[in-house]
Structure 1
Amino acid sequence: MKSSHAMQLINVLDFGGAESLALNISMYLNKLGKCQTSVCGLFGGEGPLVGHAEKNEVKVYFFKSDDGNRLKVMWNLYRLLKEQNVTVVQVHGSYLLQYAAFPAKLAGVRLIYTEHAKYSLCKSRKLRRNARYFSLLVDKVVCVSNDLKNFLINDIGVNPYRVEVVHNGVNLSAFQPKKIKTENRSDQDKLIIGTVARLSDPKDHTNLLHAFSQVVKIRPNLQLILVGDGELRPNIENMIQELNIWPHVKMLGRRSDIPDLLASMDLFVLASKREGFPIALLEAMACGKPVIATDVGGVKEIISNCEDGIIVQSESSEALAGAILKLSDDKALRDSIAARGYEKVQSNFSEQAMMEKYMKLLIPSGEYHES
């Protein structure tokens, strides 16, 4: 029986949504013993993902720099695919697709293109054009939401017969809503609002801070926790000072204990102005937390408004403030929304279900070996 080698192709060897998914897929296949697995950072040297990958017996490859030479990158990738006997490569994002399409085809490697968000595509006409052309060379296009699928088909021109939706999922065993970690709470009398998101423009912390500044004037017992780091950290720190809400806001930076931090929150808020299919939202719901999110990307595919979460207009601090105030003042409503959200994630968005779908795409029946 033929031995398969599934390679995940990412931008850099750092932790992000796509990067974490790529590593998790490799780890899942490793545990099943279905095939060889590896992760390749096309433009990134050693980063924090490397140690985690190697600890879980996932091979890691990377190219130090492209030096602005696309042909060099493509040649190096072609050689790697041939030397390592890769049988399928999953490329994450349209930018990498334009580098991977020809090398994969020349090497006789099946190509799966996974798109996580439309932010980059919306910004660049060239990237949209390339995504349309190079999608003709892929075996399957995977989208993380129906919203993204419709965008690729209707706005980019991708063949609908090539497109499949695989919703993101979460490791349900990592989140225990009944085991509240009270040690994360410095003041039991405060109601803690939190978010987990990279400090970058699409996550729109500006909107969240403006909304919180309105609400905390009315409910001074509120505290806001920001988990995550990014290029906008200095701007966000300055805004916290300018809005004079610094006594009520904690910036925790990048953390690995996300389940514990979520467990310490009373309310989770995602104020993004652009999203794909937000894993952070799923994680909060899996932890039994009531959630508020903006009406962007695949959020409506996760939340039924006013049933298992509250959806508000994006980039509207007034709408967001109103939703925060509503849930802050109504514990019964918070508990009801949290319970229904927890049940929805348990039923529809498990990591196991997601991984089984990716396995079928990456390792067709009869192509894998048992270790």
Structure 2
Amino acid sequence: MKKIKVLHLLSSLNIGGREKVAIDIVNNLDREKFLPFLMSLRPKGTMQKKVKEDVKIITYNKSDKLDFGAYRRISNVLKENQIDILHTHNPGGFLYGFIGGKLAGVKTIVNTEHGFEYNINFKKRLAESFCRRFTTLTIAVSEDVKKRLGASGMIRVLHNGIIIDEKDYSSEKEKIRRSIGVMEDEVLIGCVARLAYVKNHRCLFRAFKIASDINPKLKLLIVGDGYLKENLLSLREELSLRNKIIFYGETDNVSKVLNALDIFALTSVYEGISITILEAMACGLPVVATKVGGNPDVIEDGKSGILAENGNEKEIAEAFLVLAKNKELRINFGCTGRKIVYERFNFKNTLQEIENIYLNSFK
């Protein structure tokens, strides 16, 4: 049987949820049936080292403005490697990939919509809607994403899944906590996310301020980097939380850091299906998150975590206080969350669905 050549197209290989999803797919596709490729519209990124050696990686230095050269480059790559299926990942990769794919004569184009872009103009949104009508399949990672896309083209929901890290990090927990100045009797809340507007760290900081004024045993760990770092450092000073909020930076071992936490928090303005929420639940952590996007698809409110209204700092603070004072509740929520991930968001199931999509579309 001739192997089906599949190329995944990303806007970058920087640390992020959609990058992790794409890399997990190309790394684990059945090599008896598929030959995977990976292309990034930006030069080398941190996540590139996570890609297996047998996956061919192609990069391009795309301009921040409309880059007609990117269409030609994508088209040439697809032709030169005789790609059968192009799988793009939005935000960022779909329009360039769609046009490049059509120029190259690729018959099967699959696009995964990982979330909803707030910062794109009407013309681009209209162009994406038009192109979806001529795309083989659009995968929406949640029901909310599908609803926002509207009735343009063939769309189906397929939740993100994660490869569950089974390693025991219990021996590392206290070491990490001591290294960042967290005492044994303190409750450590953590957030793993890029420092960007959509993640709404400002709301998280203010909610934490309310909670920590009531319970001084709380500390907050911020894992990630981004363009809002200086802004958030200033907010930490403004709220007099220098000794309470710890900036950890980026890490290539999220599970290890998550296992040092007591509570996971994500106060985003919007989420598709958050990979870090799934990873936190797989580590047995209770989750406090905003009731936006795909979060209600993942978190059972009052059973595996607490969902607060978007931007409601008081609700988020109350959730922190409830969980901080009740270790048994944290454990119960964590056990339920772990079960949800194992049963509904296991990467093995996601990969099987992706492979079936490829095989069925290539018949």
With normalisation by structure 1, the TM-score equals: 0.91
Q: Deviation at 1:228?
A: 0.6
SS at match of 1:38: strand
Structure 2 partner of 1:51 = 49
1:34 matched to which residue of 2?
33
Name which of 248, 256, 281 aligns with 2:252: 256
Q: 2:175 aligns with which of 183, 193, 198?
A: 183
Counterpart secondary structure, 2:109: strand
List aligned pairs for 1:1-371, cutoff 5 A.
1-29=1-29, 32-42=31-41, 44-53=42-51, 55-66=52-63, 68=65, 70-93=67-90, 95-109=92-106, 110-120=108-118, 123-153=120-150, 157-159=151-153, 162-174=154-166, 176=168, 181-186=173-178, 187-364=183-360
- Structure 2 distance, partners of 1:269, 1:326, is 14
Q: Which moved more, 1:10-19 or 1:258-267?
A: 10-19
**In the alignment, residue 117 of structure 2 is paired with which amino acid?**
Y
**Structure 1 124/183 Cα, relative in aligned 2: closer, same or farther at 3 Å?**
same
CA shift, 1:115, in A, is 0.5
Deviation at 1:352, TM superposition (A): 0.9
Q: Deviations over 1:135-166 (max 9, x none)?
A: 1221000011011011112xxx413xx11111
Q: Deviations over 1:179-199 (max 9, x none)?
A: 662211221111111111111
TM-aligned CA deviation for residue 124 of structure 1: 2.1
- Greater percentage in helix: 1
C-alpha displacement at 1:75, in angstroms? Answer: 1.9
> Secondary structure of the equivalent of 1:65?
coil
Check 1:49–1:331 CA distance in 2 against 1; reply closer, same or farther (3 A cut).
Answer: closer
Checking the alignment, whether the CA contact within 8 Å between 1:192 and 1:265 is kept in structure 2 is yes
Deviations 1:61-103 (A, max 9, x none): 1222348564332122111111101000101115432222233
Secondary structure of the structure 2 residue equivalent to 1:181:
helix
Specify the SS of the correspondent of 2:123.
helix
Using the aligned pairs only, state the percent identity. Answer: 29
**Runs of 5+ in structure 2 lacking a partner?**
none
SS at structure 2 position matched to 1:137: coil
1:210: how far off?
A: 0.4
TM-score, normalization by structure 2: 0.93
Distance 1:75 1:236 in 2: 40
> 1:237–1:86: structure 2 CA closer, same or farther, 3 Å change rule?
same
**1-side partners of 2:255 and 2:300: how far apart?**
23
Number of equivalences: 358
Greater relative contact order structure (CA < 8 Å, 6+ sep): 1
AA aligned to 1:150 is: K
Secondary structure, aligned partner of 1:13: coil
**Structure 1 residues 199-234: Cα deviation after superposition (integer angstroms, max 9, x where no partner):** 110111101110111111111111111111111000
Give SS of 1:250's match.
strand
Residue 331 (structure 1) shift: 1.6
Given that 2:91 and 2:114 are in contact with CA atoms closer than 8 Å, whether structure 1 keeps it comes out as no
Over 3 Å counting, the alpha-carbon distance change for 1:261 and 1:56 in structure 2 is same
Q: Greater CA deviation, 57-66 or 284-293?
A: 57-66
1:21 aligned partner, one-letter code: V
Runs (5+) with no aligned partner, structure 1: none
Matched-pair contact (CA < 8 Å) for 2:169–2:256: no
State the SS of the aligned residue for 1:9. strand
CA RMSD of aligned residues (A): 2.0
What is the Cα deviation at residue 332 of structure 1?
A: 2.0
